[in-house]
Protein backbone atom coordinates (compact mmCIF):
# COMPACT_ATOMS: atom_id res chain seq x y z
CA UNK A 1 0.00 0.00 0.00
CA UNK A 2 1.18 3.51 -0.84
CA UNK A 3 1.24 6.28 1.75
CA UNK A 4 -1.23 9.12 1.27
CA UNK A 5 -0.13 12.78 1.46
CA UNK A 6 -0.87 15.00 4.43
CA UNK A 7 0.73 18.37 5.20
CA UNK A 8 2.63 18.82 8.49
CA UNK A 9 0.19 21.46 9.70
CA UNK A 10 -3.52 21.41 8.78
CA UNK A 11 -4.31 23.16 5.47
CA UNK A 12 -7.57 23.95 3.79
CA UNK A 13 -9.45 26.12 1.31
CA UNK A 14 -9.99 29.61 2.71
CA UNK A 15 -11.39 31.10 -0.49
CA UNK A 16 -12.69 29.75 -3.79
CA UNK A 17 -14.02 31.31 -6.97
CA UNK A 18 -15.44 30.15 -10.30
CA UNK A 19 -15.35 31.62 -13.79
CA UNK A 20 -17.15 30.49 -16.94
CA UNK A 21 -17.33 32.68 -20.05
CA UNK A 22 -20.83 33.63 -21.23
CA UNK A 23 -20.90 32.08 -24.70
CA UNK A 24 -22.14 28.59 -25.60
CA UNK A 25 -21.72 26.51 -28.73
CA UNK A 26 -24.21 23.61 -28.98
CA UNK A 27 -22.63 20.25 -29.88
CA UNK A 28 -25.38 20.00 -32.48
CA UNK A 29 -23.90 22.95 -34.39
CA UNK A 30 -20.59 21.09 -34.72
CA UNK A 31 -22.36 17.87 -35.67
CA UNK A 32 -24.40 19.68 -38.33
CA UNK A 33 -21.35 21.29 -39.93
CA UNK A 34 -18.95 18.35 -39.96
CA UNK A 35 -21.23 15.28 -40.00
CA UNK A 36 -24.59 16.48 -41.34
CA UNK A 37 -26.04 15.64 -37.94
CA UNK A 38 -25.36 11.92 -38.38
CA UNK A 39 -24.24 11.63 -34.74
CA UNK A 40 -26.85 13.98 -33.27
CA UNK A 41 -28.40 11.29 -31.06
CA UNK A 42 -25.20 10.40 -29.25
CA UNK A 43 -23.40 13.68 -28.72
CA UNK A 44 -20.96 13.73 -25.76
CA UNK A 45 -22.46 16.91 -24.23
CA UNK A 46 -25.29 19.36 -24.97
CA UNK A 47 -23.21 22.53 -25.32
CA UNK A 48 -19.80 23.92 -24.46
CA UNK A 49 -18.59 27.24 -23.12
CA UNK A 50 -16.59 29.49 -25.43
CA UNK A 51 -14.48 32.47 -24.34
CA UNK A 52 -15.29 35.90 -25.75
CA UNK A 53 -12.80 37.38 -28.24
CA UNK A 54 -11.05 39.41 -25.51
CA UNK A 55 -10.79 36.57 -23.01
CA UNK A 56 -7.96 34.16 -22.33
CA UNK A 57 -6.64 32.03 -19.48
CA UNK A 58 -5.19 35.11 -17.77
CA UNK A 59 -8.33 37.27 -17.86
CA UNK A 60 -10.50 34.34 -16.76
CA UNK A 61 -8.09 33.48 -13.93
CA UNK A 62 -8.25 37.09 -12.72
CA UNK A 63 -12.01 36.98 -12.21
CA UNK A 64 -11.99 33.52 -10.54
CA UNK A 65 -9.19 34.67 -8.23
CA UNK A 66 -11.02 37.94 -7.40
CA UNK A 67 -14.00 35.83 -6.32
CA UNK A 68 -11.69 33.63 -4.21
CA UNK A 69 -10.11 36.72 -2.62
CA UNK A 70 -13.51 38.14 -1.68
CA UNK A 71 -14.35 34.89 0.12
CA UNK A 72 -10.94 34.60 1.79
CA UNK A 73 -11.11 38.15 3.15
CA UNK A 74 -7.34 38.52 3.39
CA UNK A 75 -4.95 41.22 2.21
CA UNK A 76 -3.65 40.05 -1.21
CA UNK A 77 -0.15 41.03 -0.02
CA UNK A 78 -0.28 38.07 2.40
CA UNK A 79 -0.37 35.57 -0.48
CA UNK A 80 3.07 34.08 -1.05
CA UNK A 81 2.51 31.91 -4.12
CA UNK A 82 0.61 32.34 -7.41
CA UNK A 83 0.35 29.17 -9.48
CA UNK A 84 -1.79 28.83 -12.57
CA UNK A 85 -2.38 25.37 -14.06
CA UNK A 86 -3.44 25.36 -17.73
CA UNK A 87 -2.70 23.91 -21.14
CA UNK A 88 -3.62 27.25 -22.73
CA UNK A 89 -1.30 29.80 -21.12
CA UNK A 90 -1.30 32.89 -23.39
CA UNK A 91 2.50 33.00 -23.42
CA UNK A 92 4.82 30.05 -24.10
CA UNK A 93 7.43 31.85 -21.98
CA UNK A 94 6.20 34.35 -19.34
CA UNK A 95 4.13 32.95 -16.49
CA UNK A 96 0.43 33.76 -16.41
CA UNK A 97 0.96 34.16 -12.67
CA UNK A 98 3.08 37.30 -13.17
CA UNK A 99 0.15 39.19 -14.71
CA UNK A 100 -2.23 37.75 -12.12
CA UNK A 101 0.00 38.75 -9.20
CA UNK A 102 0.20 42.35 -10.50
CA UNK A 103 -3.51 42.76 -11.20
CA UNK A 104 -4.62 41.19 -7.91
CA UNK A 105 -2.19 43.23 -5.79
CA UNK A 106 -0.18 40.18 -4.69
CA UNK A 107 3.10 41.33 -6.28
CA UNK A 108 5.98 41.69 -5.60
CA UNK A 109 6.76 39.33 -2.66
CA UNK A 110 5.66 35.96 -4.05
CA UNK A 111 6.72 32.90 -6.02
CA UNK A 112 4.92 32.48 -9.31
CA UNK A 113 5.08 29.88 -12.06
CA UNK A 114 2.89 28.03 -14.49
CA UNK A 115 1.80 24.43 -14.13
CA UNK A 116 1.10 22.20 -17.10
CA UNK A 117 -0.34 18.70 -16.82
CA UNK A 118 -3.17 18.60 -19.38
CA UNK A 119 -6.48 18.45 -17.49
CA UNK A 120 -4.97 18.05 -14.02
CA UNK A 121 -2.76 21.15 -13.99
CA UNK A 122 -5.23 22.86 -11.62
CA UNK A 123 -5.20 20.18 -8.93
CA UNK A 124 -1.42 19.91 -9.38
CA UNK A 125 -1.22 23.62 -8.46
CA UNK A 126 -3.49 22.95 -5.45
CA UNK A 127 -1.18 20.14 -4.29
CA UNK A 128 1.80 22.49 -4.52
CA UNK A 129 -0.12 25.26 -2.71
CA UNK A 130 -1.01 22.79 0.05
CA UNK A 131 2.65 21.85 0.44
CA UNK A 132 3.68 25.54 0.48
CA UNK A 133 1.26 26.36 3.31
CA UNK A 134 1.62 23.00 5.07
CA UNK A 135 5.37 23.33 5.33
CA UNK A 136 5.09 26.82 6.79
CA UNK A 137 6.90 28.53 3.88
CA UNK A 138 3.93 30.88 3.77
CA UNK A 139 0.42 31.25 5.12
CA UNK A 140 -1.52 31.62 1.88
CA UNK A 141 -1.11 30.37 -1.68
CA UNK A 142 -3.27 30.94 -4.77
CA UNK A 143 -3.82 27.95 -7.08
CA UNK A 144 -5.81 28.27 -10.32
CA UNK A 145 -7.00 25.68 -12.83
CA UNK A 146 -8.15 27.44 -16.01
CA UNK A 147 -8.29 26.67 -19.72
CA UNK A 148 -9.49 27.89 -23.09
CA UNK A 149 -9.14 24.48 -24.73
CA UNK A 150 -8.99 24.02 -28.50
CA UNK A 151 -9.86 20.99 -30.64
CA UNK A 152 -8.98 20.65 -34.31
CA UNK A 153 -12.01 21.60 -36.45
CA UNK A 154 -14.05 18.48 -37.15
CA UNK A 155 -12.14 16.39 -34.60
CA UNK A 156 -14.01 14.51 -31.86
CA UNK A 157 -12.42 16.82 -29.28
CA UNK A 158 -14.01 19.89 -30.85
CA UNK A 159 -17.41 18.93 -29.45
CA UNK A 160 -16.19 19.27 -25.88
CA UNK A 161 -13.03 21.47 -25.73
CA UNK A 162 -14.31 24.34 -23.59
CA UNK A 163 -13.32 27.28 -21.40
CA UNK A 164 -13.57 27.97 -17.69
CA UNK A 165 -12.06 27.12 -14.34
CA UNK A 166 -11.65 27.99 -10.70
CA UNK A 167 -9.27 29.58 -8.21
CA UNK A 168 -8.49 28.42 -4.68
CA UNK A 169 -6.67 30.17 -1.87
CA UNK A 170 -5.12 27.56 0.37
CA UNK A 171 -4.39 28.59 3.95
CA UNK A 172 -4.12 27.38 7.56
CA UNK A 173 -6.69 24.73 8.50
CA UNK A 174 -8.18 26.77 11.35
CA UNK A 175 -9.19 29.54 8.89
CA UNK A 176 -10.51 27.15 6.25
CA UNK A 177 -14.03 26.73 4.90
CA UNK A 178 -13.01 23.19 3.89
CA UNK A 179 -10.09 21.36 5.49
CA UNK A 180 -7.97 18.95 3.45
CA UNK A 181 -7.94 15.50 5.06
CA UNK A 182 -5.41 13.99 2.72
CA UNK A 183 -4.57 13.47 -0.93
CA UNK A 184 -3.07 10.92 -3.26
CA UNK A 185 -1.39 11.53 -6.61
CA UNK A 186 -0.87 8.80 -9.18
CA UNK A 187 1.28 9.22 -12.29
CA UNK A 188 2.55 7.01 -15.14
CA UNK A 189 3.97 7.56 -18.64
CA UNK A 190 0.93 7.06 -20.88
CA UNK A 191 0.71 8.54 -24.41
CA UNK A 192 -3.07 9.07 -24.46
CA UNK A 193 -3.07 12.75 -25.43
CA UNK A 194 -0.33 15.28 -26.06
CA UNK A 195 0.58 18.41 -27.94
CA UNK A 196 4.08 18.96 -29.30
CA UNK A 197 5.78 22.35 -29.10
CA UNK A 198 4.51 24.97 -31.63
CA UNK A 199 1.45 22.86 -32.51
CA UNK A 200 -1.96 24.49 -32.14
CA UNK A 201 -4.03 21.33 -31.64
CA UNK A 202 -3.37 18.22 -29.55
CA UNK A 203 -3.15 14.62 -30.73
CA UNK A 204 -5.05 11.86 -28.99
CA UNK A 205 -4.77 8.10 -29.31
CA UNK A 206 -8.08 6.32 -29.09
CA UNK A 207 -6.51 3.11 -27.83
CA UNK A 208 -5.32 4.89 -24.71
CA UNK A 209 -7.98 7.46 -23.80
CA UNK A 210 -10.41 5.26 -21.85
CA UNK A 211 -9.38 2.20 -19.84
CA UNK A 212 -5.60 2.71 -19.76
CA UNK A 213 -5.73 6.43 -19.11
CA UNK A 214 -8.84 8.03 -17.54
CA UNK A 215 -10.24 4.98 -15.73
CA UNK A 216 -6.97 3.36 -14.61
CA UNK A 217 -5.52 6.57 -13.12
CA UNK A 218 -8.65 7.84 -11.36
CA UNK A 219 -9.48 4.35 -10.05
CA UNK A 220 -5.95 4.13 -8.61
CA UNK A 221 -5.75 7.58 -6.99
CA UNK A 222 -9.21 7.29 -5.41
CA UNK A 223 -8.73 3.72 -4.21
CA UNK A 224 -5.39 4.49 -2.56
CA UNK A 225 -6.77 7.67 -0.97
CA UNK A 226 -9.83 5.93 0.48
CA UNK A 227 -7.67 3.06 1.80
CA UNK A 228 -5.29 5.52 3.42
CA UNK A 229 -8.07 7.54 5.03
CA UNK A 230 -10.02 4.38 5.91
CA UNK A 231 -13.11 5.80 4.27
CA UNK A 232 -15.65 4.40 1.84
CA UNK A 233 -17.84 6.15 -0.75
CA UNK A 234 -20.79 6.29 1.66
CA UNK A 235 -18.75 8.59 3.95
CA UNK A 236 -18.88 11.33 1.29
CA UNK A 237 -21.65 13.83 0.70
CA UNK A 238 -20.42 14.65 -2.78
CA UNK A 239 -17.76 13.68 -5.29
CA UNK A 240 -16.45 15.29 -8.46
CA UNK A 241 -14.44 13.53 -11.16
CA UNK A 242 -12.69 14.94 -14.19
CA UNK A 243 -15.32 15.25 -16.90
CA UNK A 244 -14.19 15.10 -20.54
CA UNK A 245 -17.81 14.26 -21.41
CA UNK A 246 -20.86 13.15 -19.41
CA UNK A 247 -20.37 9.38 -19.66
CA UNK A 248 -16.84 8.93 -18.26
CA UNK A 249 -17.44 10.53 -14.82
CA UNK A 250 -20.75 8.67 -14.47
CA UNK A 251 -19.02 5.38 -15.27
CA UNK A 252 -16.05 5.81 -12.92
CA UNK A 253 -18.34 7.01 -10.13
CA UNK A 254 -20.56 3.94 -10.45
CA UNK A 255 -17.56 1.63 -10.60
CA UNK A 256 -16.06 3.12 -7.43
CA UNK A 257 -19.40 3.00 -5.60
CA UNK A 258 -20.58 6.63 -5.73
CA UNK A 259 -24.28 7.29 -6.42
CA UNK A 260 -25.82 9.62 -8.98
CA UNK A 261 -26.92 11.92 -6.15
CA UNK A 262 -23.35 12.20 -4.87
CA UNK A 263 -21.98 13.34 -8.26
CA UNK A 264 -24.86 15.53 -9.48
CA UNK A 265 -23.69 18.89 -8.08
CA UNK A 266 -20.17 18.49 -9.46
CA UNK A 267 -21.12 17.23 -12.92
CA UNK A 268 -21.25 20.29 -15.19
CA UNK A 269 -19.94 18.92 -18.50
CA UNK A 270 -23.34 18.63 -20.20
CA UNK A 271 -23.79 22.41 -19.81
CA UNK A 272 -20.25 23.69 -20.43
CA UNK A 273 -18.19 20.86 -21.94
CA UNK A 274 -14.69 19.85 -20.88
CA UNK A 275 -12.91 22.80 -19.32
CA UNK A 276 -9.68 20.77 -19.06
CA UNK A 277 -7.61 22.04 -16.10
CA UNK A 278 -10.76 23.87 -14.98
CA UNK A 279 -13.07 20.84 -15.01
CA UNK A 280 -12.69 19.06 -11.65
CA UNK A 281 -11.97 22.30 -9.77
CA UNK A 282 -15.08 23.98 -11.25
CA UNK A 283 -17.21 21.00 -10.24
CA UNK A 284 -15.85 21.51 -6.73
CA UNK A 285 -16.90 25.19 -6.63
CA UNK A 286 -20.46 24.20 -7.48
CA UNK A 287 -20.40 21.58 -4.69
CA UNK A 288 -19.04 24.15 -2.21
CA UNK A 289 -21.77 26.60 -3.27
CA UNK A 290 -24.29 24.09 -1.89
CA UNK A 291 -22.27 22.45 0.92
CA UNK A 292 -23.10 22.33 4.63
CA UNK A 293 -20.69 22.21 7.57
CA UNK A 294 -19.55 18.61 8.13
CA UNK A 295 -19.95 17.56 4.50
CA UNK A 296 -17.10 15.43 3.16
CA UNK A 297 -16.15 16.00 -0.50
CA UNK A 298 -13.97 13.96 -2.85
CA UNK A 299 -12.33 15.55 -5.88
CA UNK A 300 -10.45 13.41 -8.42
CA UNK A 301 -8.85 15.00 -11.45
CA UNK A 302 -7.32 13.33 -14.47
CA UNK A 303 -4.58 14.70 -16.69
CA UNK A 304 -3.43 13.03 -19.87
CA UNK A 305 0.12 11.95 -19.97
CA UNK A 306 -1.09 10.66 -17.48
CA UNK A 307 -2.02 11.14 -13.84
CA UNK A 308 -4.75 11.74 -11.30
CA UNK A 309 -4.95 13.70 -8.03
CA UNK A 310 -7.53 12.65 -5.46
CA UNK A 311 -8.25 15.03 -2.57
CA UNK A 312 -10.66 14.73 0.36
CA UNK A 313 -12.09 17.81 2.10
CA UNK A 314 -14.32 18.30 5.13
CA UNK A 315 -16.46 21.45 5.08
CA UNK A 316 -16.43 23.75 8.15
CA UNK A 317 -18.95 26.29 9.49
CA UNK A 318 -16.99 29.08 7.75
CA UNK A 319 -18.65 28.06 4.47
CA UNK A 320 -21.91 29.92 5.13
CA UNK A 321 -20.54 33.45 5.40
CA UNK A 322 -17.91 32.95 2.69
CA UNK A 323 -20.33 31.64 0.09
CA UNK A 324 -22.48 34.78 -0.18
CA UNK A 325 -19.81 37.40 -0.76
CA UNK A 326 -18.98 36.51 -4.39
CA UNK A 327 -20.88 35.25 -7.45
CA UNK A 328 -21.60 31.51 -7.35
CA UNK A 329 -20.94 28.91 -10.01
CA UNK A 330 -24.64 28.97 -10.95
CA UNK A 331 -24.44 32.69 -11.73
CA UNK A 332 -21.91 31.86 -14.45
CA UNK A 333 -23.72 28.71 -15.63
CA UNK A 334 -26.93 30.69 -16.07
CA UNK A 335 -25.31 33.68 -17.79
CA UNK A 336 -25.28 32.31 -21.30
CA UNK A 337 -25.62 33.27 -24.93
CA UNK A 338 -25.65 30.84 -27.86
CA UNK A 339 -23.28 31.58 -30.72
CA UNK A 340 -23.09 29.97 -34.15
CA UNK A 341 -20.15 28.08 -35.62
CA UNK A 342 -19.05 31.03 -37.77
CA UNK A 343 -18.76 33.34 -34.76
CA UNK A 344 -16.95 30.60 -32.86
CA UNK A 345 -14.53 30.07 -35.76
CA UNK A 346 -13.74 33.79 -35.94
CA UNK A 347 -13.31 34.28 -32.19
CA UNK A 348 -11.17 31.17 -31.73
CA UNK A 349 -8.95 32.19 -34.67
CA UNK A 350 -9.86 29.14 -36.72
CA UNK A 351 -10.08 31.38 -39.79
CA UNK A 352 -6.49 31.92 -40.95
CA UNK A 353 -6.11 35.33 -42.61
CA UNK A 354 -2.51 35.20 -43.84
Partner 1 sequence: MDIPRYWRLREQRYKLQGNVCAECKAYNFPPRPVCLQCKSKNMQPYQFKGNGTIYSYSTVYQAPDAFNKQVPYLVALIDLDEGPRITARLTDILDNKIEIGMPVEMVIRKIYEDGDNGPIQYGYMFRPLLKKKE
Q: Which is nearer to partner 1, 59 or 123 (CB)?
A: 59
Q: Which of residues 87-126 bind partner 1 (CB under 8 A)?
A: 90-91, 99, 102-103, 105
Span from 46-54, 196-204, 211-219, 315-323 in contact with partner 1 (CB under 8 A): 46-54
For the stretch 148-155, contacts whose Cβ atoms lie closer than 8 Å and that sit 24 or more positions apart, written own/partner, are 148/51, 148/55, 148/56, 148/57, 148/60, 148/88, 149/87, 149/88, 149/274, 149/275, 149/276, 150/88, 150/200, 150/201, 150/348, 151/201, 151/202, 152/201, 153/34, 153/345, 153/350, 154/34, 155/201
Question: Residue 193 contacts by C-beta under 8 Å, 6 or more apart in sequence?
Answer: 118, 202, 203, 204, 205, 208, 209, 213, 304, 305, 306
Q: Please say which residue, 53 or 294, places its beta carbon nearer to partner 1.
A: 53
Binding piece for partner 1, criterion CB under 8 A, among 53-61, 155-163, 214-222, 252-260: 53-61
Q: Which is nearer to partner 1, 223 or 290 (CB)?
A: 290
Among 55, 175, 295, 309, the residue binding partner 1 under the rule CB under 8 A is: 55
Q: Are the C-beta atoms of residues 297 and 313 closer than 8 Å to each other?
A: yes
- Please say which residue, 62 or 222, places its beta carbon nearer to partner 1: 62
Size of the site for partner 1 (CB under 8 A): 23
∠ CA(217), CA(180), CA(83), 5° rounding? 75
Which residues in the 58-77 window bind partner 1 by CB under 8 A? 58-59, 62-63
Q: How far is it, in rounded angstroms, from Cα 170 to Cα 127?
A: 10
Residues between 294 and 353 with contacts to partner 1, criterion CB under 8 A: 327, 331-332, 335-337, 353
Active-site annotation holds for 175: no
CA angle 289, 294, 295 (to 5 degrees): 50
Q: Which of 87, 124, 158, 175 is catalytic?
A: 87
User: Which is catalytic among the residues 47, 119, 124, 204?
Assistant: 119
Catalytic annotation present for 119 = yes
Q: Give yes or no: 242 in active site.
A: yes
53 binds partner 1 per the rule CB under 8 A: yes
Residues written for the chain:
354
Contact residues for partner 1, defined by CB under 8 A: 22, 52-56, 58-59, 62-63, 90-91, 99, 102-103, 105, 327, 331-332, 335-337, 353
The residues annotated with a catalytic role in the active site are 87, 119, 242
Amino acid sequence: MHKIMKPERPVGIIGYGAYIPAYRLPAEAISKLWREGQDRNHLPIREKSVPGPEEDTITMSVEAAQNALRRARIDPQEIGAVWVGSESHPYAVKPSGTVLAQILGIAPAAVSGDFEFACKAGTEAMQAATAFVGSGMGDYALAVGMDTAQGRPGDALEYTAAAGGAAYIMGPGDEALAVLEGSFSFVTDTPDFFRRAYQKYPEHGNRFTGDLAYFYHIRSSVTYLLEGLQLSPKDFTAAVFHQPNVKFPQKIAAELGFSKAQISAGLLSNRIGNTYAGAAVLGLTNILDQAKPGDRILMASFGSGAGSDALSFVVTDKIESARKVAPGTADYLNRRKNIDYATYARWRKKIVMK
